[in-house]
């Protein structure tokens, strides 16, 4: 999987992309990440990539011609396995389903990180889709780009230490955190040592079922906890169940 990032802040990616799993994944050639400074494609001595908006208004707007030059340089021939993504507050929400789709369908993701007040609307003609990571406003697309790269990369075989850890995660619509196919519920709670933990006068113990060694009962408990947690925190996810009789009571 190859990622090409277009940004005016290339150093913003240094610490995260060169640490932990993503660093090892790059070292093993499982993923390739290339960062392109948009200012390198500017045509003036000041490396200007934005300008004042037509019609007036606050802020500066990213220029379409500069971005087009960058895309032409990065993508020599547009293939079906290449996807150009622009991060925008008005884009479609980034979900686990979308992350799985990007991993499955494409080998190269070109990620455009906006800045300033916004971008020239004609940039929409240059991209395949717009994506948002949430209903809030950020100063640029650098953080969304890192979120997407992290989410997609961990689905690449070999990036995670144990591939089975992907099977029972929250929002996993292929298996479901509850173990029910297509459920896409929140994942059940996890516990580890110590078995008993005291905090501010209270004693918090690991549920006895998890230390029983009875795998069938543990699986049943985890399914129930997943459904309970989803109903409490994200009841909207229950509407995504593929069969009416899967709805937890």
User: What is the DSSP secondary-structure string of 67-112?
Assistant: HHHHHHHH-SS--TTEEEEEEEEEEEEP-HHHHHHHHHH-SEEEEE
Average pLDDT over residues 113-127: 92
Find how far residue 2's CA is from the centre of its chain.
Answer: 15
Whole-model pTM: value is 0.85
- Residues 196-225: tens digit of each pLDDT: 999 999 999 999 999 999 999 999 999 999
- Range with lowest mean pLDDT among 39-48, 75-84, 111-120: 111-120
For the chain, give the mean pLDDT: 89
Q: What is the CATH number of domain 167-246?
A: 1.10.1270.20
| Percent of the chain clearing pLDDT 90 (strictly above) | 80
> Which residues make up the CATH 3.40.1280.10 domain(s) of the chain?
2-153
CATH of 2-153, one of 3.40.1280.10, 3.40.190.10, 3.40.640.10, 3.40.50.300: 3.40.1280.10
Q: pLDDT confidence of 61, banded at 50, 70, 90?
A: very high
Neighbours of 62 (CB within 10 A): 22
Give the C-alpha distances (Å, rounded to integers) separating 184 from 36, 116, 124, 234.
36, 36, 32, 11
What does the pLDDT read at residue 106? 98
> Which residues make up the CATH 1.10.1270.20 domain(s) of the chain?
167-246
Measured CA to CA, the distance from residue 118 to residue 86 in angstroms comes to 11
Q: Which residue has the higher pLDDT, 149 or 179?
A: 149
């Amino acid at each position: 999987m190859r990622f090409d990032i277009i940004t005016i802040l290339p150093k913003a990616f240094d610490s995260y992309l060169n640490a932990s799993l993503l660093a090892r994944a790059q070292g093993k050639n499982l993923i390739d990440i290339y960062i392109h400074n948009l200012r390198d494609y500017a045509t003036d001595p000041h490396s200007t990539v934005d300008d004042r908006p037509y019609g007036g208004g606050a802020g500066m707007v990213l220029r379409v011609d500069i971005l087009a030059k960058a895309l032409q340089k990065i993508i020599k021939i547009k293939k079906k396995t290449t996807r150009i993504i622009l991060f925008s507050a008005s884009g479609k929400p980034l979900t686990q389903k979308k992350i799985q789709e990007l991993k499955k369908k494409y080998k190269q993701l070109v990620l455009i990180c906006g800045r300033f007040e916004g971008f020239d609307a004609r940039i929409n003609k240059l991209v395949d889709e717009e994506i948002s990571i949430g209903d809030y406003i950020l100063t640029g697309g650098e953080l969304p780009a890192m979120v997407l790269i992290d989410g997609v990369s961990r689905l690449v075989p070999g990036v995670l230490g144990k591939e089975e850890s992907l099977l029972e995660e929250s929002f996993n619509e292929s298996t479901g955190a509850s173990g029910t196919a297509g459920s896409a519920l929140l994942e059940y709670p996890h516990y580890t040592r110590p078995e008993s933990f005291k905090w501010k006068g209270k004693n918090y113990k690991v549920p006895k079922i998890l230390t029983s060694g009875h795998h069938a009962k543990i699986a049943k408990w985890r399914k129930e906890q997943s459904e309970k947690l989803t109903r409490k925190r994200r009841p909207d996810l229950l509407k995504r169940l593929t069969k009416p009789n899967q709805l937890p009571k």
